[in-house]
Structure 1
């Protein structure tokens, strides 16, 4: 069963200036894995394979289904760092195999199975899970849809009643809200999709180069060309490491993204954000310990 409105109406709203620095980013960083683990889950792969979707087609369908039966242009634009030609190999053709509604049902079913497997039935049924879901949904009340297509599309979806799925849904909204704002900042920094991901990988905080190229569709020559453009701007050195200016640029990107993503966490308030971060940290640690992500996913290489 689903409901179209978050459950909480009673959360106190402290003044926005009480929110500690980077509190929203920290909260996002511990909630986002609860959403993104799904893309590495064998449960999602099984659900989508049963619908006739395999490999990258499943990812594109799973993340884009909320937008409707869109073509490669909309997906390449909103996902930002995928090569257009890779997206066009799968879209719009896959929509002749499945409908967005089918994919959304499969995705939610896989989220259920995945969270139960990674967190265990006791955690899924806990009072802490229900509390986290209520807090996260309250935070989403502060989100705004303007110029945020992936967030806005997901915000139109019904909210599941089951607390662990409601938390997953809220984590999805908060992820896409931050992500849409992040793309605006990258665009203003004059970073194209590949330059953005090359500089993020060089920071040591993004997916490593092997994973990026295998999942995003870029090849060695394109990666090298992007590195060259960043070197010309003084952002990378000859070894592909961020220069001082490059480090400053990545810090500026995150800080400006924080500013554009402040509203949901200011709405929830400092105490609520602190508690949601505490709960999300515990859940994400459980998920990571259960093998939610490949061991070689992050790092420069």
Structure 2
């Protein structure tokens, strides 16, 4: 674990060395763009449309929820946490009248395969490196403890694709849903509603409010109620900026999210996790340089440069904590 001789700071959960890179967060930043082709790559949208999805959002909700089976809007709203029920209800259950969950699962693999084949060329990484990255990522995904994590469990239960591009994508998807399930649990434990969670991300400078109000179109009164609740808790000031208390609480939520996401990397081990990080870097850089995810997106993935098209990560740590 971490050396206690390092200078430390208080997150509200525990003291951690200030200079140590955060392994679960580094791995998230490496894997999230690879998963995100399913939302932002034109090949993925084309595959979704081809099986009958009506527009981006029906495709989004159906492809992300398909591992759960033909579930309705209440289940998806609860599992995804961030979306207003009315938006989910416009996509589900209607999506299942156009295509079965099995059809949608095949479509999302078709879209991911087409996108990643175009992006992860031999010039980016040779076949041996791509296979090694896919095998290590899949091993980590299979080692993830999914108790209480419905979305990650549903993805983990899917069969392993044969092609390395798809194996890597399915592993990245399982691991990001594993992290997301843990993040939702941390938010719920702190009594943070979906709109409050969005507003905290805006206050932290991770995403844009106008963008969120379009992508997560809660009614105005819900946004206003969320903002009022954050002010009453002393987490944001009148301008919507984080207060010292808000900074502390949000750091604690993020720390709990990282801790909950650390299990697969502890199980994979320091050496193999470091090898995977090295193998993933050029793959992720290629996806990021292609504009996936966009510089401004609801994901809130930290950008490494002003234009958001370079991947900037700290040196990978020797130990996982």
Bin for the TM-score computed over the shorter chain: 0.7 to 0.9
Unaligned runs of 5+ residues in structure 1 are 1-16
1:13 aligns with: none
Task: For residue 250 of structure 2, give the secondary structure of its aligned residue in structure 1.
Answer: helix
1:204 to 2:168 alignment:
no
- Over the residues paired in the alignment, what is the CA RMSD in angstroms? 1.9
1:32 aligns with: 32
Cα pair 1:66 1:157 within 8 Å, conserved: yes
CA distance in 2, matches of 1:125, 1:94: 38
1:294 aligns with: 294
Cα pair 2:124 2:286 within 8 Å, conserved: no
1:213 aligns with: 213
TM-score (norm 1): 0.88
After TM superposition, the structure 1 = structure 2 runs for residues 272-283 of structure 1, keeping only pairs within 5 Å, are 272-283=272-283
TM-score (norm 2): 0.83
Cα pair 1:52 1:97 within 8 Å, conserved: yes
C-alpha displacement of 1:294: 2.5
Task: For residue 119 of structure 2, give the secondary structure of its aligned residue in structure 1.
Answer: helix
After TM superposition, the structure 1 = structure 2 runs for residues 205-284 of structure 1, keeping only pairs within 5 Å, are 205=206, 207-284=207-284
Residues 1:203 and 1:223: Cα distance change in structure 2 (over 3 Å): same
2:305 aligns with: none
CA distance in 2, matches of 1:119, 1:210: 33
Unaligned runs of 5+ residues in structure 2 are 4-19, 301-321
2:128 aligns with: 127
C-alpha displacement of 1:201: 2.2
CA distance in 2, matches of 1:220, 1:179: 26
Q: Looking at both structures, which has the greater relative contact order when contacts are Cα pairs under 8 Å and sequence separation is at least 6?
A: 1
Q: Count the aligned residue pairs.
A: 282
Residues 1:125 and 1:103: Cα distance change in structure 2 (over 3 Å): farther
CA distance in 2, matches of 1:56, 1:68: 18
Cα pair 2:36 2:293 within 8 Å, conserved: no
